[in-house]
Structure 1
Amino acid sequence: MLRRLPVRHVAGLLPVLIVLGIAYWKWPMLDKGTAQLGSADTEWLLAAAAATLLAWVCSATAQQGAVLEQLPAGRLLATQFAASAANHILPAGIGGNAVNLRFLLRCGLPPSRCAAALAVRALAACVVRIALLTTLLAAFPHALHVHRVVPARADNPLAITVVALACAVALFLALVRPVRRTACDFLGTVAADVRAVHGSSARAAALWTGSLALPVMQALVLVAVVRALHTPVPPVHVALAYLAGSAAAALLPTPGGFGSLDVALVLALVTAGATAVAATSAVLAYRIVTVWLPLLPGVLVLAALVRRRVL
């Protein structure tokens, strides 16, 4: 009986079951976050929902800019929606990258080019986020008061851990020859794709515009939620808190940033001037808008794309 069940039907049903399990596990948080949204400003919540939708458009634009081939626009946008849902099931963006990789393979790109396209997009996103964070910190140096949550110590454990991990990775790549050779070959492919993409002004514009607009939209979601809950924190400070919090959460990859991103955003909002209670409420509401409301539709779209062999 099980052998007769199509594999793609099982693959389409599995994410739905995982989401239902996560929702059951996180039900106290969902209940509390929903209660917070009940007293929020409806217009600002609609603005947060609109920014969430635009974030998927920005993601699709960046992905199109990372390849020279013209991708089918409708399926590309649906894939980004499905990839965002997959990111909340597997850690460190593995789910979203797997969905995008499968989509590019279905579009006829060779495996090495597909992996390079994802790397080009990730590199652009990293450069843009660092540039945004650095620029805003330079323009508003007193926006975040880190001493409110982290003692001012030279031997901060987090900084020491980050440096130690970076040194360990560099040492591993330097000593293990097969890994070094594979990494060099892959970086060569990525460099070739970067040159090819920037040889087309349209593709370069799509890559950098989408990469820049995506974190801006994500920050605007948090800004709108904070405003909806009437928390007296300036929008620029909230945007800085989002960029700093999401960067810190990347150091501890979890499915969809559950736990790591929540704590990081709460601490970042506290450094921006919010109280601990207001910051927690804002993050719970932010999670409802960006994760829980679109999650089930996202996995249903993922299941449909798998069944139709788009993925």
Structure 2
Amino acid sequence: MSSLSPLPSSLSPLPSSLPSSGSDAPPVRPLPTPSAAGRPLRLALCLSPLLVAAVWGLANQTLLYEGVTRLTRAEPGWLLAGAGFTCLTWVVAACMRQGAVPDRLPPGLLLASQFAAGAANHALPAGLGAHAVTVRFLRTRGVPLERATASIALYSVARSGAKTVVLVVSLLSSSAWRRLGELVPDGTVLVPVAVVVALAGVATAVVRPLRRPVTGLVRCALTDARAVHTRPCRVLALWGGAAVIPLVQASVLACTGEALGLGLSWGDVFLAYLAAGTAGGAVPVPGGVAVDAALVFALAAFGSPLAVATATVIGYRLLTDWLPLLPGALVLSAMIRAKAL
């Protein structure tokens, strides 16, 4: 048997970059990495909360100046107590968010997300900014979108239900509730709200593309609600936090009133806060403008001078919203940059 002749020296070996299975296929070029492609979008998301905070501050210069001027003459001890209660609201909100999902969430990041959610609430009405931040946080923790949305529904139901119970108990234990008759919405407000709710229900029941996601969301919410309520720690975090958070927020208002000489008892301030929040919360305005107006009228109805009541509400907003706005926007930007949101 004769041996095979060697290959001619003019033929060079195949390049290593060519695929072994294809004859004439060109080499595949690597695609750009997702981090490099999404860098401008992440940068825009990081800067957008700061832009919103700057625009809001420029549009409310008069309120900021008046609030700071009045608070400089207030008693600092009570203002520090109000700031402490303000910080406690974020802790209670984080407990409620944990109680609304069966999954265990990292406490530090959860608390930071609720602090950042306060800044987002100035851009969207009716708490939608905070809910959007929370949904995004849950998604980064591996919670599916349907379950994350269901947790928002459970959170909202628990907060509304517990606040209603606290309001009823306050009304039954106080004889000053008759002064709040002016805060009850009349037919011009209730009728359009009822019509909108009825139309939304009919559209959900009739339109099939709307019925499917709503049915799936309700089914998922009921499943998670059953899972949450089988664990006592989750029940305590959800419903206990829902009952405590309006009292903590009312304590901020009471401390501010003490600092400015409001002249009302804490019980009257609590009742005024709960009633004003219920009456003004039906109007979806960003920043709680409708609630602030109702709160001023409620404090005045209990016997406080209108000027002092206005200053108290301004100081309350300064402690709860305006002072934490820039730090909250910075935390929101940092969490977006760190891909925690």
Give the TM-score, by structure 1 length.
0.92
Give secondary structure in 2 for the equivalent of 1:92. Answer: coil
- Equivalent of residue 264 in structure 1, options 268, 290, 294: 294
- 2:252 pairs with 1:221: yes
Alignment-mate amino acid for residue 260 of structure 1 = A
Q: In the superposition, relative to structure 1, how do residues 243 and 137 fare at CA in structure 2: closer, same or farther (>3 Å)?
A: same
- 2:134 pairs with 1:100: yes
- 2:24 pairs with 1:24: no
- 2:262 pairs with 1:251: no
Q: Is the 8 A contact 1:42 1:228 kept in 2?
A: yes
- Equivalent of residue 292 in structure 1, options 318, 322, 327: 322
Bigger mean CA deviation after superposition, 170-179 or 217-226: 170-179
Runs of 4+ in 1 over 6 A off after TM superposition: none
The match for 2:269 is 238
Alignment-mate amino acid for residue 73 of structure 1 = P
Alignment-mate amino acid for residue 327 of structure 2 = P
Alignment-mate amino acid for residue 215 of structure 2 = C
The match for 1:192 is 223
Q: Distance in 2 between matches of 1:144 and 1:309?
A: 51
Alignment-mate amino acid for residue 48 of structure 2 = L
- Ranked by relative contact order (alpha carbons within 8 Å, sequence separation 6 or more), the top structure is 1
Q: Distance in 2 between matches of 1:46 and 1:251?
A: 31
Q: CA deviation at 1:82?
A: 0.3
Q: Distance in 2 between matches of 1:270 and 1:174?
A: 44
Q: CA deviation at 1:144?
A: 5.1
Give secondary structure in 2 for the equivalent of 1:145. Answer: helix
Q: Distance in 2 between matches of 1:294 and 1:191?
A: 35
Alignment-mate amino acid for residue 230 of structure 1 = G
Q: CA deviation at 1:42?
A: 1.0
Bigger mean CA deviation after superposition, 84-93 or 47-56: 84-93
List per-residue Cα deviations over 1:84-128 (Å, max 9, x = no partner). Answer: 111112222121111100110111111111111111111110111
Q: Distance in 2 between matches of 1:285 and 1:179?
A: 43
Q: CA deviation at 1:143?
A: 3.6
Instruction: For structure 1, list consecutive stretches of 5 or more residues without a partner in the other structure.
Output: none
1:175-214 alignment, distance < 5 Å:
175-214=206-245
Alignment-mate amino acid for residue 153 of structure 2 = A
Q: CA deviation at 1:172?
A: 3.1
Q: Distance in 1 between matches of 2:147 and 2:258?
A: 43
Bigger mean CA deviation after superposition, 200-209 or 159-168: 159-168
Alignment length (residue pairs): 305
Percent of aligned positions that are identical: 38
- 2:339 pairs with 1:309: yes
Q: CA deviation at 1:184?
A: 2.5
- Equivalent of residue 62 in structure 1, options 96, 111, 118: 96
Q: Distance in 1 between matches of 2:270 and 2:327?
A: 27
Alignment-mate amino acid for residue 260 of structure 2 = L
Q: In the superposition, relative to structure 1, how do residues 138 and 68 fare at CA in structure 2: closer, same or farther (>3 Å)?
A: same
Q: CA deviation at 1:5?
A: 5.4
Q: In the superposition, relative to structure 1, how do residues 285 and 144 fare at CA in structure 2: closer, same or farther (>3 Å)?
A: farther
Q: C-alpha root-mean-square deviation of aligned residues, in Å? A: 1.9
Alignment-mate amino acid for residue 189 of structure 2 = L
Instruction: For structure 2, list consecutive stretches of 5 or more residues without a partner in the other structure.
Output: 1-36
Q: Is the 8 A contact 2:159 2:243 kept in 1?
A: yes
Give the TM-score, by structure 2 length.
0.84
Q: Is the 8 A contact 1:144 1:272 kept in 2?
A: no
Q: Is the 8 A contact 2:100 2:238 kept in 1?
A: yes
Q: Distance in 2 between matches of 1:182 and 1:107?
A: 22
Give secondary structure in 2 for the equivalent of 1:202. Answer: helix
- 2:180 pairs with 1:146: yes
